[in-house]
């Protein structure tokens, strides 16, 4: 199992999906090699290659060593160190402190083992990434980075990464990601009874005649939000929580919270700053009211607040008492904040006699035109979309909340940054491409609570289902950890 060690080129799929850049290989040699991979993805054994290459160069002192054997695959110390370096580089870019070394090492080794088991399972069940599809994904990455594929390939090789190794790593990560979606995501179902129970227990009614003690009538609140992405693992949550704690510690040192939060959100796109303005208690989540209870104007909440939306760093900008406030106007339902997406969509229905490959190729052509700015999404949707509810609006779906659309669309959207266009994917209704126009944090109304509850329950169930699934795979796998990486050291 070979893991690329350069951050800009392996942050696209799985744990590092957001920052990958790539290039396209058109040489005959690569085509020959990749054809073999397409027909039968091999279970990789990189240690022999590492040893041979090092021996040829006379670099025996740097020979890699095996630290774990997972079924038929091996994991090397170099792979583990490369994965740790990726995470550390990400923290450096975010100007955040590293997690404890032992914690980081344990999390990355666990991730490598999980990925190895999943990949072998996927290959055994015939999961493949066709060569033409891999070429298209790499070309799209280059387009998104506004570079030619040849320039991207040159950049990859300049950093010491063999292009065939890059392609194999990317193919592997795609296979792992898709297999997890097929085996876990598609099997999670939410019943109406579960939704009702969630709303009754998680969104607690608050009596309009019984406001919280010591709560002002109006509070001006600002927050720094580190969102929790859908399907985040326990390791992801720990990383985000550590990041939030570091931001809180720095915010305590800043004289101007608003300026600091604005600058932070500009340098790190994963962070959001929101000035919520003056709000009465009924228009704030109960966890915000509890966290700010007893604080005076200008005070920072001393702890990171966690919600289903993410990790919050809260600052009380101002407090006002308004004796004229009509307590009876308060809502009986607690507010919730969710991430909404503004979306364009184009759909083609499945037609008898039309090969799936033809539909995919057609949609891929549309995506390429939109990325290259030779056609607009709305024009293509108006002309070609076969979903009457969308084509009548030139493909514009408007603002949608998690759970309002088929799960495959939610999955595609969470992979995109604003402005990006997805690759073709299938739902029960047909084949789609979507464009993410923008994201926002929105306060959920009573009419939206069921949709939000469904999405939240899905995220909770997905996390548990994935842990159960990977635990079952682990129980049926042979995992041999080599000293000093035995379990007792953790």
| Same domain membership, residue 316 and residue 230 | yes
d(Cα 97, Cα 27) in Å, to the nearest integer?
43
Which residues does the chain have with pLDDT short of 70? 1-62, 94-99, 200-217, 230-231, 282, 321-338, 388-392, 403, 444-448, 486-490
CA distances from 386 to 392, 430, 432, 460 (A): 10, 9, 10, 34
CATH of the domain at 142: 1.10.4030.10
Whether 170 and 52 map to the same domain: the answer is yes
| Torsion angle, alpha carbons of 46, 50, 53, 54, to 10 | -170
Say yes or no: 323 and 361 in one domain. no
| Alpha-carbon separation of residue 98 from 10, 87, 95, 104, 246 (angstroms) | 19, 9, 9, 8, 10
Q: How many domains does the chain have?
A: 3
Q: Is 319 helix (H, G, I), strand (E, B) or coil?
A: strand
Domain of 344, CATH number, reads 3.10.50.40
Nearest to 113 by CA among 123, 121, 102: 121
Same domain, 420 and 324: no
Query: Do 284 and 374 fall into the same domain?
Result: no
DSSP 286: H
The answer to whether residues 267 and 229 belong to one domain is yes
**Cα angle at 309 between 274 and 452, to 5 degrees?**
115
- Within this chain, do residues 258 and 327 fall inside the same structural domain, yes or no? yes
Query: Do both 388 and 313 map to the same domain?
Result: no
285 plus 407 within the same structural domain = no
- pTM value? 0.47
Q: Structure tokens of 461? A: 């169930």
- Backbone angles phi and psi of 412, in degrees to 5: -65, -40
DSSP 424: P
Contact by Cβ (8 Å): 190, 454: yes
| CA-to-CA dists, residue 435 to 270, 397, 412, angstroms | 19, 10, 9
The pLDDT score that the predictor gives to residue 58 is 46
- Inside any domain, residue 194: no
Identify the CA nearest to 142 among candidates 29, 6, 31, 9: 9
The confidence score (pLDDT) of residue 60 equals 44
pLDDT tens readout for residues 108-122: 999 999 999 999 999
- Edge-first strand order for the sheet with 479-481 is 73-76, 66-70, 479-481
The alpha carbon dihedral of 374, 378, 382, 385 has a sign of positive
Kindly state whether residues 172 and 236 are assigned to the same domain.
no
What pLDDT, on the 0 to 100 scale, is given for residue 201? 60
Q: Are residues 221 and 255 in the same domain?
A: yes
pLDDT at 323 (0 to 100): 45
DSSP 421: B
| Residue 352, φ and ψ in degrees, nearest 5 | -65, 130
Residue 366 within a domain: yes
Q: Which residues contact 230 (CB under 8 A, 6 or more apart)?
A: 402, 410, 411, 414, 455, 458, 459, 462
- Is there a domain that residue 70 lies in? yes
Cα–Cα dist 235/87, whole Å: 12
Buried b (16+ CB within 10 A) or exposed e, 424-452: bbeeeeebbbbbbbebebeebeeebbbbb
Give pLDDT tens digits for 423-463: 999 887 889 999 999 988 777 666 667 777 787 788 788 88
Count of other CB atoms within 10 angstroms of residue 458:
21
Backbone angles phi, psi at 76, to 5 degrees: -105, 160
> Would 454 be classed as within a structural domain?
no
397 and 328 part of one domain: no
Owning domain of residue 136: 7-183
Per-residue CA distances from 278 to 94, 282, 284 (Å) = 31, 12, 10
DSSP 8-state assignment for residue 465: H
367 belongs to a structural domain: yes
72, 62 in Cβ contact below 8 A? no
> By the 8 A CB rule, do 301 and 315 touch?
yes
What share of residues in the chain are helix, strand, coil (percent, to 5)?
Answer: 50, 15, 35
């Amino acid at each position: 199992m070979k893991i690329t060690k350069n951050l800009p080129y392996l942050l696209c799929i799985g744990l590092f999906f957001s920052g990958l850049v790539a290039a396209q290989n058109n040489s005959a040699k690569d085509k020959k090699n990749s054809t073999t991979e397409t027909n039968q993805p091999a279970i990789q054994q990189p240690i022999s290659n590492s040893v041979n290459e090092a021996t040829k160069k006379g670099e025996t002192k740097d020979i890699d060593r095996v630290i774990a054997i997972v079924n038929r695959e091996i994991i090397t110390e170099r792979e583990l160190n490369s994965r740790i370096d990726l995470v550390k580089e990400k923290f450096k870019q975010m100007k955040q402190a590293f997690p404890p070394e032992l914690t980081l090492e344990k999390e990355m080794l666990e991730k490598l083992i999980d990925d190895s088991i999943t990949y072998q399972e996927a290959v055994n069940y015939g999961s493949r990434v066709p060569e033409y599809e891999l070429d298209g994904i790499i070309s799209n990455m280059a387009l998104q980075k506004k570079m030619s594929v040849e320039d991207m390939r040159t950049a990859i090789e300049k950093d010491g990464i063999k292009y065939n190794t890059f392609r194999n790593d990317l193919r592997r990560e795609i296979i792992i990601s898709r297999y997890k979606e097929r085996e876990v995501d598609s099997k999670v179902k939410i019943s109406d009874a579960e939704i009702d129970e969630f709303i009754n227990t998680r969104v607690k009614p608050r009596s309009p005649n019984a406001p919280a003690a010591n709560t002002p009538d109006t509070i001006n609140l600002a927050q720094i939000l580190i969102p929790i992405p859908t399907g985040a693992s326990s390791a992801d949550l720990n990383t985000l929580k550590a990041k939030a704690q570091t931001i809180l510690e720095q915010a305590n040192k800043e004289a101007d919270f608003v300026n600091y939060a604005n600058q932070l959100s500009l340098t790190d796109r994963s962070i959001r700053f929101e000035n919520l303005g003056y709000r009465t208690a009924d228009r704030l989540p109960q966890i915000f009211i509890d966290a700010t209870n007893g604080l005076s104007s200008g005070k920072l909440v001393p702890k990171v607040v966690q919600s289903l939306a993410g990790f919050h760093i809260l600052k009380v900008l101002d407090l006002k008492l308004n004796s004229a406030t009509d307590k009876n106007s308060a809502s009986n339902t607690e507010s919730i904040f969710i991430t909404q997406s503004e979306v364009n969509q184009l759909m083609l229905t499945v037609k008898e006699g039309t090969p799936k490959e033809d539909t995919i190729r057609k949609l891929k052509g549309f995506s390429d035109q939109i990325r290259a700015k030779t056609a607009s999404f709305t024009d293509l949707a108006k002309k070609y979309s076969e979903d009457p509810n969308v084509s009548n609006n030139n493909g514009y779906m408007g603002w949608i909340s998690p759970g309002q659309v088929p799960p495959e669309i939610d999955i595609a959207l969470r992979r995109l940054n604003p402005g990006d266009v997805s690759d073709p994917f299938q739902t029960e209704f047909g084949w789609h491409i979507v464009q993410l126009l923008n994201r926002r944090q929105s306060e959920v109304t009573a009419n939206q609570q069921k949709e939000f509850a469904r999405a939240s329950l899905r995220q909770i169930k997905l996390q548990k289902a994935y842990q159960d699934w990977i635990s079952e795979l682990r129980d049926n796998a042979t995992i041999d950890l080599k000293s000093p990486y035995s379990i007792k050291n953790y």
